[in-house]
Structure 1
Amino acid sequence: MYAAMESPNFTHGSTTVNETQAQPSRPPALPVFMFAGGAVGNLIAIVVLSVSRQERKSSAFYTLVCGLAVTDLLGTCLASPITIANYMDRHVLEDKCVCEFQSFLLLFFGLTGLSIICAMAAERYLAICCPYTYQRWAVDRRFAQRFLVCIYASHVLFCCLPMMGTVRSELQTSRSWCFIDWRTREPAAAAYSILYGTVSLLLIVGTIVLNLAVCGALLLMRRRTATRPVTKGSVRERWKALSSAAETQMIAVLVMTSAVVLACSAPLVVRVFAHRFLLKNEPKADLTAIRIASVNAILDPWIYILLRRSLFRRLLSLSRNGSCSSSSSAQRTLFHPDITRDGHVFTQLMCNANIITQLPANVKFTQRDADRVQQT
């Protein structure tokens, strides 16, 4: 395959190498724009995270967000230069090693990004819906770091299988990118492409389901609180600030996350299954799918980092001018909201609202608190 690729008579689809030699190089405007957008956006995200408060840096969600930003930045900086070079010289990807390396990058960073996003959704689900389990498992910064290492190590091994001979990497028909040979009928190669598509699909579905579960839990919390009278003014103000600021921010971010993951990652997964089961060769659809998947690295930092509490604080201040002073103390962070440090008042709030199983992660909810609530 690769020996034929280097041969002057090598044919790929309806285009021969002699024909591509006669084609002039195209201006790399699109890959340069995508490279700049991904690099600048993720650099800004990393800078914003680096100046965050220490209490945020110690959280598991913060660590996963940092891992996502670094992953997107590395993927952009490693994959985009190859694409830009190929636009300037159409023979760059005809090299076997370069083609396999780009295929590995697309496989690895696409799957790793999905895994980290799914891990972020799972962390929020445990923090809000299973706070006691969250505390018992000690889900903190070190836990997230170890989980990231496991993701990177397992995905490197999985995505290196094509370079080990499991499935070949080939120059696609558009001759602007390399990917696995998803049309081959070899059993091992077919199994790998199906496995890659299945894992990606499960990560997408898992992210959406977890985000919907979190949104449903938050809405249920607000509904239960709204239907139960609260006698203490301090409790009322604190819960009002929580439901208006942290809940609104988290719902908005999670809904946008689900939409971006579905829109950016689903087309490539669909193309994987289309090549395997429908046996349709549509080069334009393949190129569009990989370009849409590349946009994910550009949008991630703006969704997870830059749409932070400041934007929602301004929106809430416009709609609730009379309660700005009371709600500003509760709008501490987008990712890990600190409800209150008064254990007695918060325990009373839990009893009134009956939302023990939907508490945020950083609340120190222990078995002693559960026994006290049951006695009440």
Structure 2
Amino acid sequence: MESQNFTHGPVSTNRTHVSALPVFMFAGGAVGNLVAIVVLSVSRQDRKSSAFYTLVCGLAVTDLLGTCLASPLTIANYLDARVLQQPRLCEFHSFLLLFFGLTGLSIICAMAAERYLAICCPYAHERWRVNRRFAQKFLLSTYLSHALFCGLPAMGMSRSALQPSATWCFIDRGRAPVAAAYSALYGAGSLLLILGTIVLNLAVCGALLLMRRRTARRPRGRASVRQRWRALSSAAETQMIAVLVTTSVVVLACSAPLVVCLFTGLMGDQDPDADLAAIRIASVNPILDPWIYILLRRSLFRRLLRLRRGRSPPRSHVFSHLVSTANIITQLPAAGTSPPTEQGLKTRRTSMDET
């Protein structure tokens, strides 16, 4: 009897202690994403009208919804272990993890594709009218299609199961043909999105490096106004790429362990501890994402570039000067209009530095 009490005491205390972790994660994810949405909402109108920042805002809203819907169930289950034992709540919890995990990967891949088109295929970007309205339609279609796909287990295509740790629900990776087929399809889709994001990011970074090399080699005094304006417009993509690459690294690093556990479970090598660690790593993603948008604002980005310009060697001074004026991209003239004069560029750059 004494041994039983000794065993139950630490277990109960440990459960109460661990239940504080989801509370802090919920608060961090909710507050961070709310601040990020506010920061994106008060941005300049020309930035808010771009497809890239519409997708960034869509990712912040997705992270906020995922945190506010999934975390309360997790907290309730820590307080009462019978919560996720109810079939309907278990299916709903599994749907939330499936939906928001796949949707986040899709939006990140779309952000990489948009930057690839804007930098490597600008004519296609303009012809297809990849703007704010296009991004909004993409987000709506993504939500609808992913909701239908992730709702298939609740419709009988597979089934959700309470995982061995009894703290979260996910699709059953058993040997039943239908369940195995759905798990393989979900894992393959997630893996393709991860690989697509990596390839697109590498292509974009490679294109920017080529632009930097060409700009550094161009004679500064002999370049015409139009050539300098085009150099400024290409260098201005750097701030968007910083947001894209940093967000991609965080999302892929948090999502990859769960995808790996999904495939290992299909091969019969299911490790409950590894699965629990993977889902906890995936839960950190909505907490880290918003701080990328907050910290990589253009005002802070320009300050960092000024520090870098002061420490950089003379041969890279031209490129640093071009990158430090990255905000000029938002005021590029429309097609068919004449480029600004040297005096106009100098005046605009001075006013932006003052702000």
Report the TM-score, using the length of structure 2 for normalisation.
0.83
Residue type of the partner of 2:212? R
Structure 1: gaps (5+ residues) = 1-18, 347-376
Aligned residue for 1:317? 306
- Give the counterpart of 1:69 among 35, 56, 60: 60
Alignment of 1:107-126 (within 5 A): 107-126=98-117
3-state SS of paired residue (2:326): coil
Alignment of 1:212-223 (within 5 A): 212-223=202-213
Residue type of the partner of 2:269? K
- Aligned-partner Cα distance in 1 for 2:308–2:112: 29
Q: CA deviation at 1:313?
A: 1.0
> CA 1:328–1:216 in 2, change beyond 3 Å: closer, same or farther?
closer
Say whether the 8 Å CA contact 2:261–2:270 is kept in structure 1.
no
Q: CA deviation at 1:240?
A: 6.9
Coordinate RMSD, CA, aligned: 2.7
Aligned residue for 2:271? 282
- Give the counterpart of 1:202 among 174, 185, 192: 192
- Aligned-partner Cα distance in 1 for 2:245–2:323: 24
- Give the counterpart of 2:24 among 33, 44, 49: 33
3-state SS of paired residue (1:94): coil
Say whether the 8 Å CA contact 2:305–2:323 is kept in structure 1.
no
Q: CA deviation at 1:238?
A: 5.2
Aligned residue for 1:338? 330
Give yes or no for the alignment of 1:259 onto 2:249.
Answer: yes
Residue type of the partner of 2:205? C
Give yes or no for the alignment of 1:105 onto 2:96.
Answer: yes
Aligned residue for 2:3? none
- Aligned-partner Cα distance in 2 for 1:153–1:331: 36
Q: CA deviation at 1:331?
A: 3.2
Aligned residue for 2:296? 307
Say whether the 8 Å CA contact 1:330–1:339 is kept in structure 2.
no
Q: CA deviation at 1:139?
A: 0.9
Give yes or no for the alignment of 1:163 onto 2:165.
Answer: no
Aligned residue for 2:167? 176
1:66-124 CA-to-partner distances (Å, cap 9, x unmatched) read 11111110000000000001111111111111111100000000000111111111111
Say whether the 8 Å CA contact 1:168–1:189 is kept in structure 2.
yes
Aligned residue for 1:94? 85
- Aligned-partner Cα distance in 1 for 2:113–2:247: 13
> CA 1:63–1:253 in 2, change beyond 3 Å: closer, same or farther?
closer
- Aligned-partner Cα distance in 1 for 2:42–2:138: 24
Say whether the 8 Å CA contact 2:90–2:169 is kept in structure 1.
yes
3-state SS of paired residue (1:170): strand
Give yes or no for the alignment of 1:128 onto 2:132.
Answer: no
Structure 2: gaps (5+ residues) = 1-6, 311-316, 341-355
- Aligned-partner Cα distance in 2 for 1:235–1:185: 64
Say whether the 8 Å CA contact 1:124–1:214 is kept in structure 2.
yes
Moved more, 95-104 or 234-243: 234-243
Say whether the 8 Å CA contact 1:71–1:109 is kept in structure 2.
yes
Residue type of the partner of 2:45? Q
Say whether the 8 Å CA contact 2:261–2:278 is kept in structure 1.
yes
> CA 1:253–1:57 in 2, change beyond 3 Å: closer, same or farther?
closer
Q: CA deviation at 1:306?
A: 3.1
Q: CA deviation at 1:318?
A: 2.5
1:210-250 CA-to-partner distances (Å, cap 9, x unmatched) read 11111111111111222232414756865676676x35434
> CA 1:293–1:115 in 2, change beyond 3 Å: closer, same or farther?
same
